Structure 1
Amino acid sequence: MNRFSYTRANDVSAALEAHRAPSAAFLAGGTNLVDLIREGVARPERLVDIRRLPMTGIEPNADGGMDIGALATNSAVAYDERIESRYPLLSKAILAGASAQIRNVATVGGNMLQRTRCHYFYDTATPCNKRQPGSGCGAMNGVNRIHAILGASEHCIAVHPSDMCVALAALDASVRVASDDGERVIPFDAFHRLPGDTPHIDTNLRDDEIIVGITLPADGFAQHNAYVKVRDRASYAFALVSVALALKLDGNRIEEVRCALGGVAHMPWRNRDAEAALRGKTLDAATVRDFASAMVRDARGRPGNAFKIELTARAIERAFEQASGISLASREDDAS
């Protein structure tokens, strides 16, 4: 572990000022950052403790939605009665991730900024373009069972590990960030980035900005939603594939659908064209199967993770069953 200085900020301006130091990092819950420092992946020269900043609130906003502070803990959000009733998809996703102890200290902002769990990223003896740009990607021809099947590049096939972010993507949340120039809002699906030729840059957050909160829209799809997480073990484990699904139904007719995938790409993955094509259709096995096929149409598997393509399609089908309460297999049998 490298030596670093430590400072504590009491307001956003002080935090931004302290963060201007070379190789500075914000410290909140520290559930990911401390691991990165311990493993020698991150080597900050200054830690800026932001835990005293007034950003822990979970409150309704004037537009009928909810504002969640960046320093609200994952547990506080998941168990907030208003989130559970109005945005159950978000609560389900958060509770599917990590352990209770980690959720009690991990923050919303930190969850969004957590780094990939790629084995090669954490092993400083191996090449990794995300950790050391230009060094190569050890996972490309190595052990890549947990890696991306969508949106990858020749430089990186890592995936984003968050459960919470998959639900936020499906809910069309937005991210509020602040700098010395004031605040700006970033649509959630424009916050994270695909790897391209700069896989070391995970988000579109500027170096002079700090996340101050998340805004949820008024419609939380409280009636029909599902979070399906497929993992190697039922206890604390990252997703091989996850699906956050939000539906609006009129009987068996699909009025609105939002579907975000986790564990398959460098960021929560949506296909808005596929979603739009589903609107107005009858919810049945054939319709869902076609949608699942469209979601994975551009997927590219490697020897270690090609199974994820079929697994993703099956997880999408399971999510539709859970969200709608309709047994799609039974409906298909009845139709035949």
Structure 2
Amino acid sequence: MAPDPSSVIRNPPPRQGARAFRYRLAAAWGFSLPAALVQFFFGWLPVAFAFVVAFQQYYFVKPPEPIGWKNFVDVAADPLVVNAFRNTFLYAALSVGLTFLIPVFVSILLMEMPGRTIRWMMILWFIPVASTASIAIWKYMYHFRLGLLNGMLTAVGLPPQKWLDDPNLAMMSLILPGIILFSPGLIYIAALQNIPEELYEAAELEGAGFLQKVRTVTLPRMRPVIAMMLIFSVIGSLQVFELPFIMTGGGPGYATQTVVMYVYSLAFAGYNLGKATALAVVLFFVIMAVITLQRRLVRENIDE
């Protein structure tokens, strides 16, 4: 009697099953190993090395000397560290409040517009912009005599402003380019398009208006995406470097010097690599604490 073909498929011979398992295992390692090696050599290994350097007096031309907690004591006693953290948290608060929340509501409003308008806006959001070049352009737009912004103020009869040279305006001047350059609106629109239309129809049958639909349908369904983008936004804001470095250099005075800028100054201007690394380690734990607190406070589950 001939064997049932279906039983052969369900119960392959042991040799054939072992060969397929080895093939899948080799394929899994083949795809995963390159990424794991990159993460190890360019991610975790530098972090581990930083924890070692933070406890040393590190030199460029001779072996380092262990000095215990001295670098961390110097960091705690440095008034510029306090100023750098204050500027960094101010920038992060303004950046998250403006460059993160505004695109959420703009995306929701765009979804109420015709499909052609949505497509054009998605194209504009998706156009790649070289961040460093855009920052340089914004620096010239803030120029006191030749800048576009002061030209617009002068045209309407208002006095020109020293945008980047005024301690009271410099930080806000750094936030404005972020609203244009950091645009997660494309991600939000993609998330909005995945919300079932039946939920909006059910809300309309219950008599819900536009704001009620946003509160009861849109925002809860976007919660996982918003939570993920909020993490990226907070981490990026606390690690900001190129924007103030190019536009203000940390000035006027130390009004816009961030923690990462001070780490760069200590390491490559003061050649104090040990203290710079200790400050970077402190920033690492601060970011970890902020993200842990955020994960506890911000709900990601749609049904909660």
Class of the TM-score when normalised by the shorter of the 2 chains: under 0.3
* Structure of larger gyration radius: 2
Q: Choose between structure 1 and 2: higher helix proportion.
A: 2
TM-score (norm 2): 0.23
Q: Choose between structure 1 and 2: higher strand proportion.
A: 1
